Amino acid sequence: MQQMHDAVIVGGGPAGASCALWLARLGLSPLLVEAGPRLGGLANDNPFADDWIAVLPGVTGQQVAANIDTSVRAAGVPLRLETRVTGVLPCKGGIQATLTGLDGSQTQVRGRTLVIASGVRAKGLPDHPPGATWPGVLIGPGSPIVAQDYSGLSVAVLGGGDNAFENYVYVRNRGARAVHLYARSVRAQQQWVTRAGREGVRIGPYQVDPVRRSVDGQPYDLILVFYGWEPQAAFADGLRLARDDRGYIRTDVATAETSVPDIYAVGEVAHRMHPCVVTSLADGVVAAKAIQRRWERAGE
């Protein structure tokens, strides 16, 4: 007979990993499914020191991700890495999830509850297919931005948020021949706006041609796109969960439960709290404790 897990958790970033660890430590049986080759989520792509975590001064995002992986394995959580959840259906006593491996092979697993912790992905250029790529156009922050050699290049940075302004300052200090920031509006914190200054910053409408690698007709060697994030949980579309106007899953603030009983959403896919490692970790705890209380009540 197919094993019934107490929770099938989709996504091994800080929120999903935290939920899995807590459930395991509480004596329940989670299964953690991660599409990538390792746990830690977006932190794996952050080589910078994350000085916002009070208990880990000077530790980089990649070290945070490695610590998450170590902690989850120490708790004995069953893992399915490099495995995508490609469908979820209600079944007797819970849910059945279809898992698809890198080779396309599929298996089914069952859980009394489902925890969606699949996070977000960087938004691409509007009016183009999701995931579309072009030579010399880099989308979203992370290691590829840091690994790039900017010496003598002309660079356009697109976006009006913190990431755009921060990376504009970063590229400007890495030997680029010319750097321009294009922002239709400014959403960045004042500290980044101040550090960026006014020279090279262009506020207002603009047009991007990724094929010709140009902005408003001006060609660039590189275009860096920082248009923010969007939730990625298409595998759960059939569950018809309530979502907000941006596609984030709506949840109960006290339990992280969605509009469908026994289905939870944590971390950035639910946009429940200010998105960062610490709040995502806390979100996983909220869901784990809610699931524990759910089964304690059922056994009374």
Q: For the segment 124-144, what is each residue's pLDDT rounded down to a tens digit? A: 998 888 778 999 999 998 888
Q: What is the pLDDT, as a whole number, of residue 300? A: 54
Burial of 276 (0-12, 13-18, 19+ CB in 10 A): middle
Share of the chain above pLDDT 90, in %: 86
| Tally of structural domains, the chain | 2
Give the pLDDT mean for 211-215.
97
Could you list the beta-strand ranges (E) of the chain.
4-5, 7-10, 30-33, 79-80, 83-91, 94-101, 106-111, 114-116, 120-122, 137-139, 154-158, 178-183, 201-203, 208-209, 214-215, 218-219, 222-225, 229-231, 263-265
130, part of any domain: no
Give residue-wise pLDDT tens across range 45-56: 888 888 889 999
pTM greater than 0.75 = yes
128, part of any domain: no
Share of the chain above pLDDT 70, in %: 99
* pLDDT over threshold 60, residue 247: yes
Query: Is there a single domain that holds both residue 110 and residue 255?
Result: yes
Query: Is there a single domain that holds both residue 69 and residue 35?
Result: yes
Query: Is there a single domain that holds both residue 28 and residue 91?
Result: yes
200, part of any domain: yes
Taking the C-alpha atoms of residue 283 and residue 14, their distance in angstroms, rounded to an integer, is 9
Give the pLDDT mean for 30-57.
92
Taking the C-alpha atoms of residue 254 and residue 64, their distance in angstroms, rounded to an integer, is 27
End residue of a domain, out of 225, 250, 269: 225
Give the pLDDT mean for 270-292.
94
Query: Is there a single domain that holds both residue 161 and residue 250?
Result: no
Lowest mean pLDDT among 57-61, 78-82, 180-184, 215-219: 57-61
Q: 169 lies in which domain range?
A: 137-225
Q: What is the pLDDT, as a whole number, of residue 244? A: 95
Query: Is there a single domain that holds both residue 64 and residue 172?
Result: no
CATH number, domain containing residue 168: 3.50.50.60
198, part of any domain: yes
* pLDDT over threshold 60, residue 3: yes
Give the pLDDT mean for 117-121.
95
Taking the C-alpha atoms of residue 55 and residue 101, their distance in angstroms, rounded to an integer, is 36
Estimate the share of the chain in helix, then strand, then coil, as percent rounded to the nearest 5: 30, 25, 45
Q: What is the pLDDT, as a whole number, of residue 298? A: 74
End residue of a domain, out of 201, 225, 249: 225
Query: Is there a single domain that holds both residue 116 and residue 196?
Result: no
* pLDDT over threshold 70, residue 1: no
159, part of any domain: yes
Give the pLDDT mean for 230-234.
93
Q: What is the pLDDT, as a whole number, of residue 299? A: 65
End residue of a domain, out of 225, 252, 270: 225
Q: What is the pLDDT, as a whole number, of residue 195? A: 94
Q: What is the pLDDT, as a whole number, of residue 297? A: 81
Computed over every residue of the chain, the mean pLDDT equals 94
Give the pLDDT mean for 10-38.
97
